[in-house]
Amino acid sequence: MHDERRRIEERAERLHNQRIKTAIYAATVPLTVEAWQAPGEPVPFEEAAAASYEPFAMDTPWGPPWGTTWFRMRGQVPAEWAGRRVEAVIDLGFVGDWPGNQAEALVHLTDGTPLKAVNPLNQYVAIANPATGGEEIHYLVEAASNPDILANNFSEPTPMGDILTAGNKPLYTFQRADLAVLDEEVFHLDLDLQVLRELMVHLGEHEPRRHEILHALDRAMDALDLDDVSGSAAAVREVLAPVLAKPAHASAHTVSGVGHAHIDSAWLWPIRETKRKTSRTFSNVTSLADEYDDFIFACSQAQQYEWVRDNYPKVWARIQESVKKGQWAPVGGMWVESDGNLPGGEAIARQLVHGKRFFIEHFGIETKGVWLPDSFGYNAAYPQLAKLAGNEWFLTQKISWNQTNKFPHHTFWWEGIDGTRIFTHFPPVDTYNARFSGEEMDRAVRNYQEKGAGTRSLAPFGWGDGGGGPTREIMERARRLADLEGSPKVVVEHPDDFFAKAREEYPDAPVWNGELYLELHRATYTSQARTKQGNRRSEHKLREAELWATTAALHAPGYTYPYEKLDRLWKTVLLHQFHDILPGSSIAWVHREAEAEYARVAKELEELTAEAVAALGGGAARVFNTSPFDRAEVVRTTEGAPTYVEVPASGSAPLAAAESPQAVTVAGRVLDNGLVRVEVAEDGTLASVRDLRAGGREVLADKGNLLRLHTDLPNYWDAWDIDKHYRNRYTDLLDADSVAVVEEDPLLGAIRVERSFGKGSKLTQTITLRAGSPRIDFETDIDWHEAEKILKAGFPVDIRAPHSSAEIQFGHIQRPTHTNTSWEAARFEVSGHRWVHIAEPGYGVAVINDSTYGHDVSRTVREDGGTTTRVSLSLVRAPRIPDPEADQGRHRFVYSLLPGASIEDAVAEGYALNLPLRVADSAGAPEPVVSVDGEGVTVEAVKLADDESGDVVVRLYESRGGRAHGVLRTGFPLAGAQVTDLLERPLEDADVEAGTVPVSLRPFQILTLRLRRG
């Protein structure tokens, strides 16, 4: 047989694209269109309905950046269309085919009922088959003219990312607003051809099936009447029917399709636009559910449901109905799909608590899995947190983006730092926006790592990132691929059903231990430093407010615990932990608003804490310690004078000077407190740090606190990525404008270093040593005006450390300091929370911070044979895409060097730096709500139970990485105790002995106790 593949493939392609697709709509009549430009921010439907509209013609530019234009559309169905499927077809002037980052619209009836959204690949609004024709059509269409931030493939900065800088030039040209007859036979022929052509080109050239489809296409094109595509469509389909009817091989892989619409809660659009995106997407999804009984849609992020409930009650009612029918599956059980590395441990617990509770309360459904396809890596505490919230499975996708190493599993047990395992799947289709294309189905099978042991994988399908969701075309593809030779089998089903089947067939799946590190997007640990600082400080202020509110509720008559306020503030912080807000990868508008929200949260939490402390009674000044560790340190009085005080963990003490330790001496540029001696060089770096407790051991191997300005232009994804080549070009900041002693007191000494550098940037650091503490603080104030740079602070330590330890949620992880393998070499920038620790047997050093997450640890051998282990904190970056002004301006933060530190010291000082002592007038001297005897047993949260029963809830964890035994004591009469899950539901009774609760924890175990008051 002659090889005619090229002729047939090109013939099928041309006829499909130029004749069949263009015949899907058989007849059209234009709608009459009028327009009204809403001033400023979006307006309610009622206001738009009452507005004055002007005539509007097709091919007219419309829509300033971030604007809203309402269109009134009217028409009448022609009588001759009676009994046919009629649709309104609207093209706003779409660019490309991605619905998430351009013009979008929501179509309403005149009574305000949302019908459906329109976007590039979903331009229709169905009109029920008219019985007689002549029906009047009257729509109000809310169109958003969101700018295309991705224009030119992120190649250059754009001012479009903020309404303040985007200008007002119209962005789009309206193309079409018609009533049209959908030719259903041609519509289905189009889908038949799509599926067969895509299947064919992804089969091997040696496969008989490929050639069978090829010649069937040739015969089908022979049956197509070019002068009557509609009239011949049925005959063409009849030719194709035999090849579409051939069943899949018995051993074919099964793809479990789950409808999905990934909606970033903010990214290339602000939060206010996401609220509208949810209404548009969810309207589309519920409309699709009405058309396809076999459709199932999985949707996460309780926050987005709440937005719809509050702003679009009619869409909310449709969601509730779809849930009842089993077509809508709430998943994920989190308030938002948060970043996987940066939120604190208690914050991730609250993500799960608030998310799961929402779904239980509003749908009567307890979600079974964590749905996090798009976060930038996942911390190793997740398995335990997920299980403690009642979850059975975990789904992710983003690890497929690894730059260097291919992740070895798709279905596996993920083991966390405490030993908890959770059944985990990583879809081999390598997207959470699948469309069941031939390429995707081929990739899912080819990519699947579990061949021979597992037979199924999951594919979330539907347009996403900016919403959109599944379309009827995708559902039609799924139906054709349900049992088709040469393709994996596609079944649309609930993700719970997929996970149950996958676990049943593969119970002994391999185990992955530790973090799921993404070998990409490493700069998300640093970009938009003020957003990250706002999150860190909010988390700690929430802890502080809950502790002192609980104390006041227990001991202050008449005080009312602020349940509603704390709930609302937590949800605000949780929202901003979304995986494109907290990582710093959103447009300027998002981060501008985030900073304002964090300021508001901080103000309100300060007020709540002050109210709680004041409720304990006015009187003499006291010091309040929110940390779970006893503190003996220098604090400033309200007048600013330093005082050395001792305060119990989670308790308070009078502001009275305790017995002072050895005084701090200042001699030239040398600070000495009898524990450490710090010498500041003329250039403002640390020339020497000697640990006097270790016989005067020199801690540094070279200049300490060396500020290094690196060129930082990644290959792509500026705000997201830091590529390894950043290390190759840098400038050490060694020119100090001034180095001077600014404080000389027996309780503290301080030296200030001022620098100017780069493009007008200025940096002031106050290096402080306090009496009684070996911790050296670097209080830093930067006025930053660089572009495409990253500033790091390095501490080269004379320690041969085989690994570094970095705090993560409810524990810490160890990472090798060598680069023996590609996996280790790829971790050239990593994340941590309040501290990083390095050690050799007998001696360790920690670097503590109050708002920094990104860092690197490297190791070199010196000419003298000694080893230098260098810890470098990433302080601030200057990416220009998607926010051209990212990180510009003022930054204030503190980081510290802690010589002679154990892990326990690092944990305690991490809390201390992030939870400064509070001085306030109070006559109350209550016992701490809880105290713990036993090393390693650390209190993370103290609060009243969410059910307003008055019970006290305490969350503990083991913080050293070993076994821990202790006794929990209460500052109130204890009537009973229960071990609970994260949602404060009882798991078992806890032992109570003489009014105390004995506690035994395995390494890094999290324990939630519910304490009943006597």
Residues noted as catalytic: 374
Euclidean distance between CA atoms 611 and 620, whole angstroms: 16
Q: Report the 10 Å Cβ neighbour count for 297.
A: 30
Distance of CA 461 to the CA centre of its chain: 20
Contact between 555 and 926 under an 8 Å Cβ cutoff? The reply is yes
Nearest Cα to 240, choosing from 257, 261, 260, 218? 218
Backbone conformation region of residue 291, classed left if phi is above 0, alpha if psi is from -120 to 50, else beta: alpha
Backbone conformation region of residue 887, classed left if phi is above 0, alpha if psi is from -120 to 50, else beta: left
Euclidean distance between CA atoms 304 and 273, whole angstroms: 12
Question: Judging by DSSP bridges, how do beta strands 254-259 and 456-461 pair with one another?
Answer: parallel
Which stretches within 2-50 are classed as H helix?
5-15, 45-49
The DSSP result for 460-475, as a single string, is: EESB-BB--B--HHHH
Nearest Cα to 859, choosing from 825, 910, 833? 825
Q: Report the 10 Å Cβ neighbour count for 147.
A: 26
Euclidean distance between CA atoms 619 and 155, whole angstroms: 62
Measured on CA atoms in the order 556, 557, 563, 565, is the torsion positive or negative?
Answer: negative
**Burial classification of residue 596, based on how many CB atoms lie within 10 Å of its CB (0-12 exposed, 13-18 middle, 19 or more buried):** exposed
Record the tokens describing residue 272, joined without a space.
Answer: 């206010």
Helix (H) or strand (E) holding 287: helix 271-291
Helix (H) or strand (E) holding 455: none
**Residue 406 Cα distances to 14, 401, 439, 1011, angstroms:** 38, 9, 19, 47
Euclidean distance between CA atoms 147 and 162, whole angstroms: 10
Beta strands in 98-223 (DSSP E): 103-108, 114-118, 124-127, 136-145, 172-173, 176-182
Nearest Cα to 977, choosing from 966, 991, 987, 962? 991
DSSP state letter for 975:
E
Kindly give, in sequence order, each residue whose CB lies less than 8 Å from that of residue 326, ignoring residues fewer than 6 positions away: 296, 494
Which stretches within 292-312 are classed as H helix?
302-311
Record the tokens describing residue 810, joined without a space.
Answer: 């409810």
Nearest Cα to 911, choosing from 534, 630, 566, 612? 630
Helix (H) or strand (E) holding 239: helix 229-245
Euclidean distance between CA atoms 250 and 151, whole angstroms: 45
Record the tokens describing residue 7, joined without a space.
Answer: 């002729």
DSSP state letter for 715:
S
Distance of CA 750 to the CA centre of its chain: 39
First-residue to last-residue Cα distance in the chain: 91
